[in-house]
Amino acid sequence: MKIRTVFIAPGILLFFLVLFLITNDYQQRRSDFIERRLAVLQTRVEATGRTLSNFSRYVFEETVNRTAVLALMKEAATADEQTRTTIRARLESLVSEDYEHLQRYDFRQFHFQLPDNTSFLRMHSPDKFGDDLTGVRETVRIVNETKEPVVAFEPGRIYNAYRFVYPLILDGEHYGSVELSFSMNSFLNILSQLEKADYYFGIRRNAVESIIFEDDRTRYMDSCFSPEFLFDREVLPEYDNKGLFEKTADLLHPILDSGQNGGYAAMHQGSRKLVLVHFVKDLNGRPVACFVAVSDDTVLSNYLRDYLVIIGISVAIFLTLFGAALILFREREKMKHLSLTDMLTGLRNRTALVGILEQEMDRVKRYDKPLSVMMIDIDNFKQVNDRFGHAEGDTVLKNLARLMSSARRASDYAGRWGGEEFLVLLTDTPYESGVIAAENFCAEVASTYLSTLTPVTISIGITAHIADDSIDSLIARADDALYEAKRQGKNRAVGIRKN
């Protein structure tokens, strides 16, 4: 058992170490793949933003940054409210045709602001003007302060959008700003053309509800992937992955709560899906919106398949080796048992008894415990063999062995010393108690039929361990006591205390 533990325990630990390393490698490969896909998504979002930025610059130069428009904004910058109303109507008329044309390309907003950040004209909502944007539109404030263009995603009082805000400058003088922005449909359409996937765009609820006009709240609705995000009703997805989002909420919501890009893979309706989340930050670096991309996954499915195959092979190898080791250990235990057991009687053999004697004598010396030894011999055993045959002699030996096993204490040891001689070790037993036990057992044998053909008795020599005893001296003294029992007439127990 000790050998089995020494070999099997490290084997099991090695097996679990291998499983850990295989699992860790799979998880690392999966994590690396998701990171690569997130990087690709980020690159595509940034590339889309640059494309729209270039387009917006073109629109600005061709439509807004011209003398007629700039002159009206110059006039409006210093005019009274009544005059501004007239100027506003003229400006709306001047750019309306261009605005209507650009709407075909998901162009969403022409929004003019005065130098003090006051909204002057919203082409997408002309009846809403005059509100101060300083506290709600950081892009407008920065452009009017720095006189430099700004590009950023930003929720608005009506729409959310990637905003391209430009200063309005005529003859070196600053007369306000203009915002050009596209519907998020532009982003989603371009992304869909770059890679087949279901794209969603959601805005954090708190980023919208804190600044939006009250009568424009209906432009938004709850998103299908989190109650903390809203959908723009004009940018609603055409596909439905609500079941997937609900099923994997324990994976998706921690990513959305963290504000850090992330992703995961999950089974849904019989196919494996890859879900990626890419956050969009405002000018202050706050994650105020996000793209969620859902696509069919094949790479991670292959990773998982390879992982399961390797795990299966590893388990099979381990079970094979473990089974072989158990068989080997059982055979070793069996061989060890056979080498220490007398095959006829089932008792310990002489080799086993010597080993036990060494342990017990060491215990006697170390703890000063008493130890008695009985040497037993079957009287006239040769006559039994000669008269009734060796089969009957074997029966006598086996019956005596069974009687010894049933009569001894659990702490005692009994074995066949050789031929018709047996040895019994009485642990924690002083000489006097050993003599009594020997006499009782001798009488029990005499009253028991070890053979159905002839009466059988035994003689017993009994002694106890004394100082400086060796195994040889202890056995020799027990043998002398047995010889004396034979000399006195057999069928008796005789003890010798000392040499």
Q: Tens-of-pLDDT digits for all 499 residues of the chain?
A: 444 555 567 778 887 888 888 888 888 888 888 899 999 999 988 888 888 888 889 999 999 999 999 999 999 999 999 999 999 999 999 999 999 888 887 787 889 999 999 999 999 889 999 999 998 888 999 999 999 999 988 877 777 778 899 999 999 999 999 999 887 888 888 888 888 899 999 999 988 888 887 878 888 899 999 999 999 888 888 888 999 999 999 999 999 999 999 999 998 888 889 999 999 998 888 999 999 999 988 877 777 787 788 888 888 888 887 787 777 777 777 777 767 889 999 999 999 999 999 999 999 989 989 999 999 999 999 999 999 999 999 999 999 999 999 988 889 999 999 999 999 999 999 999 999 999 999 999 999 989 989 999 999 999 999 988 999 999 999 999 999 999 999 999 999 987 6
* Residue 334: predicted pLDDT: 74
* Residue 117: predicted pLDDT: 95
DSSP H or E stretch at residue 45: helix 2-59
Tokens of 110: 């022409």
The fold adopted by the segment(s) 184-297 is Beta-Lactamase (3.30.450)
Q: How many CB atoms lie within 10 A of CB 420?
A: 20
Q: Are 280 and 153 in contact (CB under 8 A)?
A: yes
Enumerate residues 6+ apart whose C-beta is below 8 A from 8.
322, 325, 326, 329
CA R_g for the chain: 49
* Residue 253: predicted pLDDT: 95
| 421 belongs to the catalytic site | no
- In angstroms, the CA 347 to CA 416 distance is 6
DSSP conformational letter for 104: G
3-state secondary structure of 430: coil
- In angstroms, the CA 279 to CA 291 distance is 6
- In angstroms, the CA 367 to CA 363 distance is 6
In the block, residue with structure tokens 């959305």: 256
DSSP H or E stretch at residue 361: helix 350-367
- In angstroms, the CA 364 to CA 428 distance is 9
DSSP secondary structure string, 125-191? STT----B-TTT-HHHHHHHHH-S-EEEEEE-SS-EEEEEEEEEEETTEEEEEEEEEE-HHHHHHHH
**What is the bridge-based pairing of β-strands 413-418 and 421-427?**
antiparallel
Burial class of residue 324 in the structure, from the number of CB atoms within 10 Å of its CB (0-12 exposed, 13-18 middle, 19+ buried): exposed
* Residue 499: predicted pLDDT: 65
Burial class of residue 3 in the structure, from the number of CB atoms within 10 Å of its CB (0-12 exposed, 13-18 middle, 19+ buried): exposed
Q: How many CB atoms lie within 10 A of CB 58?
A: 10
* Residue 129: predicted pLDDT: 93
CATH code reported for the domain at 350-495:
3.30.70.270
Q: Are 465 and 429 in contact (CB under 8 A)?
A: no
In the block, residue with structure tokens 């979002």: 45
Query: In the sheet where 107-113 sits, what is the strand order?
Result: 119-122, 107-113, 173-182, 160-170, 150-155
- In angstroms, the CA 130 to CA 132 distance is 7
- In angstroms, the CA 396 to CA 394 distance is 5
Q: Are 133 and 112 in contact (CB under 8 A)?
A: no
Q: What are phi and psi of 373, to 5 degrees?
A: -130, 130
- If we measure between CA atoms, which residue out of 209, 190, 207, 198 comes closest to residue 289? 207
Q: Where are the domains of the chain?
A: 184-297, 350-495
- In angstroms, the CA 477 to CA 373 distance is 9
- In angstroms, the CA 370 to CA 363 distance is 9
Orientation angle between helical segments 390-407 and 381-388, nearest 10 degrees:
140
Q: Are 112 and 120 in contact (CB under 8 A)?
A: yes
pTM (whole model) above 0.85: no
Question: Active site residue: 209, 420, 439, 444, which one?
Answer: 420
* Residue 283: predicted pLDDT: 85
Q: How many CB atoms lie within 10 A of CB 268?
A: 16
